[in-house]
Amino acid sequence: MRNRKYMPAPLMVALMTILLLVANITSIVEAAVPDAKATVIKAFHQNIKDCHITINAEGSITLLGQANSFGCSMEGDVQAKPLVGKATMKFTMDLPTGAIADNGEAYFEVINNQETVYTKENNNWQKTSVPIVNLTDYDKYITAAKLIREDNTVAVFEVTFTKEALKTFELIQPQGMPKPLGINWLDGIGDIKTIVTIDKKTSTISELAIDLSKFIATIVETAIAEKLPDDKKQLVKIITDNFKANLDIKITPIKLKEKIIIPKEAKDAPLVSVH
């Protein structure tokens, strides 16, 4: 396996932002509310608590009869007071030409509604500051929720988010991730369905799962196909129809044995843009 630097700062910043978002949805007030949508909305309105989070994204596509796959994983802890997090990340690609791997280390902290992300690449630290992505209007963003199964330990809901919720992420674009290819990336994207698992014993959200296949395919088709002649657009659709991607997030409430301390060399690192 070849080791290359395939985990750029924008990806690491995005992962740490997801870590912060997930930490804010770990607890619910009541596990047994008659209305499924009300139960889910309550879950997304709770305060941050100390927790351990794992995030795994996997994807695959077959091109010219050859399989290609990728994986991106993150594991980290979030401390509620003060709000600080740390994580390790791994990125892998399995291509016909060979396997590629990369890994990274990162921290974040929130001060005055600003998230600062510290990332380590090639043994050098750098930091990036982005506004906090705050999804608070869940009554508007969550359009539907239904209980799809339950047992003695968990209740599992299918939750539908309107695509308008994704516009919140555009708030980080001035200092963070630019719009893909300068397009309106929400064009063509429908509602987003998420599987939310609630642990009955702890009354916490323990897992989120999203099928990203159609979501990513739509962005690619919008960004690339619209710039191609008609005879090439069908080829892009054949490729995107063959694309599979899934995101799985697991959340476990914990009692941290010691406070998370951001290394001094990370704190002293230069502030950079992730463009």
Over 90: is that where the pLDDT of 148 sits?
Answer: yes
Confidence of residue 29 (pLDDT cuts 50, 70, 90): very low
d(CA 198, CA 33): 12
In DSSP terms, 75 is beta-bridged to 54, 88
Number of neighbouring beta carbons within 10 Å of residue 57: 19
**Predicted confidence (pLDDT) per residue in 212-223, tens digit:** 888 878 777 776
Judged against a pLDDT cut of 50, whether residue 131 lies above it is answered with yes
Distance CA 111, CA 94 (A): 39
Contact 192/211 with Cβ under 8 angstroms? no
Contacts of 196 (CB under 8 A, 6+ apart): 40, 43, 145, 156, 157, 158, 159, 205, 207, 208
Q: Is residue 135 pLDDT above 90, yes or no?
A: no
**Is 53 a residue whose pLDDT tops 50?**
yes
In whole angstroms, give the CA distance from residue 133 to residue 95: 34
Return the pLDDT at 86: 95
Run of H or E including 215: helix 213-224
What does the pLDDT read at residue 16? 54
pLDDT digits (tens, 9 = 90+) for 171-189: 444 344 444 444 465 666 7
The answer to whether residue 32 scores a pLDDT higher than 50 is: no
Q: Are 189 and 166 in contact (CB under 8 A)?
A: yes
Burial of 170 by CB count in 10 Å (0-12 exposed, 13-18 middle, 19+ buried)?
A: middle
Quick one: pLDDT band at residue 65, thresholds 50, 70, 90?
confident
Q: Based on C-alpha coordinates, what's the Rg of the chain?
A: 19
Which of 6-15, 85-94, 106-115, 127-136 has the highest mean predicted lDDT (pLDDT)? Answer: 85-94
Residues whose CB falls within 8 Å of the CB of residue 233, separated by 6 or more in sequence, listed in order? 225
The residue that leads in pLDDT, 128 or 1, is 128
Predicted pLDDT at 248: 95
Q: Work out the pLDDT band at 267, boundaries 50, 70, 90.
A: very high
Please say if the pLDDT value at position 63 is more than 80: no
pLDDT of residue 241 exceeding 70, the answer is yes
In the predicted model, what is the mean pLDDT of the chain? 77
